[in-house]
Amino acid sequence: MTKILSEQAEYPDQQELTAAKRRGAYEAWHQVLAQRPADVIGEVADSGLRGRGGAGFPTGRKWRFLQFDAERPPYLLCNADESEPGTFKDHWLLERDPHRVIEGILIAAYAIQAREAFLYIRGEYASLLPGIGRALEEARAEGLIGPNVLSSDYSLDIIVVVGAGAYICGEETGLMESLEGKRAYPRVRPPFPAVRGFNGRPTVVNNVETLANLPWIIHHGAEAFRAVGTSDSPGTKLVSLSGCISRPGVYEIPMGYPLQQLLEQEGGGPLPDRSFKAVIPGGTSVPVLTAEEIEGVTIDFESMRQAGTLLGSGGMIVFDDSVSMPPMLRAISHFYATESCGECTPCREGTGWMAAIVDRLLDGRSQIDDLDRLLRIGNNIEGRTICGLGDAAVQPVRSFVSKFRQEFEALLHESSISNAPDWQTHGHGPRTARHGSVADEIVRSEPVAGRPTYRW
């Protein structure tokens, strides 16, 4: 299989500039500096590269939305706030091949003519800072970053910023708010970041994996990239494989690769004496697939959508027949209730309600219509929030309950059902959610004054 992102990452010295250059690092950067920015954008657009952060939007088209203004140069933001549960491929790239990511940032920044680029890293990834710092120092010493890069008339500074560890910062407008030193509330759009983004200037936000593809595309050409994967989803995908699987880890596979083959061959199949029960293919924010539904599904945006789920970030969490699904949903629901920023009422209140209902199902305090109530709440959250966190919280609830309903109904039968008619008797719901819930505490917490900034 063609390796685009992981071809050099297995070398233990790949973090060092000398070793990385020996294997071709920054050759594409030299090529780019001899081209017009519009030609670079055209090459990326022709390659068909789509965003690898979850949305799958065409990268070249995203860049072309940018409104160029010589007096207000745009910003490039590299989104390394990898907070989707089950996803760790960006961490893997930054740790093993930081120069590939840096080169990708340079290429994208040149294409949109940014003079400053930011690498926004989630707070839990602070352990990566020493390695990234060394890589940036080496690149700067070689004249690859800074004023008049490689004796050209192009200058660029790369600034590393560490977040405080909030899921909402993975959303591009929440990230920009955090970068500006404000609380990470998502912004209402329009205006879109390409028109008015970070500090009021046109802004492009790209994921780590997306940018890491750029050196290969520039070096080998758009046609070579399109020759890998499928016509609608070209290239490869890094997947984070975890859970009940024999060989968890990060795997690079071509788009269109059979999901079952990935689990059985690369992943080594289920644990001994077990069988697959389900898999979440793109992080917990996408619908789960049962073992029967996995058959025939391929790893690309279109096939996943046809199967009723999403490729998302490629964070694949595997469950085997030893796993009870209701406790898994409890952990997932509490995550989204905790991470809701509290800006939108449906999400702030609804995620807490859903978590509370799953709690009482598992605690033996359920009501006979709790499962239908869960689905109704989800329907009233979906599509009614500024960002996608509300929708993300609904997908696992809806898919877990609908596809494993018998397991949830068993909890109903085990419970001693009370005749209490409403939320108030059980201490959950609209009234108590406004007085002491996790979501309420998020709303009342003080705004963050700023973020630590690192320059090398």
> Per CATH, which fold does 325-444 belong to?
de novo design (two linked rop proteins) (1.20.1440)
pLDDT at residue number 423: 38
121 bridge partner residues = 80, 162
CATH number of 17-226: 3.40.50.11540
Three-state secondary structure call for residue 62: helix
Which phi and psi angles does 174 have, rounded to 5°?
-65, -40
Rounded to an integer, the average pLDDT of 138-158 is 95
CA dist., res. 284 & res. 234, Å (int): 24
CA dist., res. 181 & res. 239, Å (int): 32
What are 66-112's pLDDT values in tens digits?
A: 987 778 899 999 999 999 999 999 999 999 999 999 999 999 999 99
Domains 236-320 and 325-444 share a fold: no
Tell me the domain boundaries of the chain: 17-226, 236-320, 325-444
Other beta carbons less than 10 A from residue 425's beta carbon: 12
Nearest to 24 by CA among 118, 99, 120: 99
CB neighbours of 238 closer than 8 A, spacing ≥ 6? Answer: 5, 6, 52, 89, 92, 93, 209, 250, 251, 252, 314
Nearest to 160 by CA among 79, 59, 63: 79
Rounded to an integer, the average pLDDT of 221-233 is 95
CA quadruple 212, 215, 218, 220: dihedral sign: negative
Rounded to an integer, the average pLDDT of 415-443 is 37
What are 380-422's pLDDT values in tens digits?
A: 999 999 999 999 999 999 999 999 999 999 988 776 444 344 4
236-320 CATH choice from 3.10.20.600, 3.40.50.970, 3.30.360.10, 3.30.750.24? 3.10.20.600
Percentage of residues in the chain having pLDDT higher than 70: 91
pLDDT at residue number 415: 63
- Run of H or E including 406: helix 405-414
Percentage of residues in the chain having pLDDT higher than 90: 84
252 bridge partner residues = 238
CA dist., res. 305 & res. 230, Å (int): 15
- Run of H or E including 164: none
pLDDT at residue number 257: 97
Rounded to an integer, the average pLDDT of 289-311 is 95
CA dist., res. 311 & res. 303, Å (int): 9
Nearest to 374 by CA among 333, 406, 407: 333
CA dist., res. 369 & res. 422, Å (int): 11
Whether the predicted pLDDT of 435 surpasses 80: no
Three-state secondary structure call for residue 257: strand
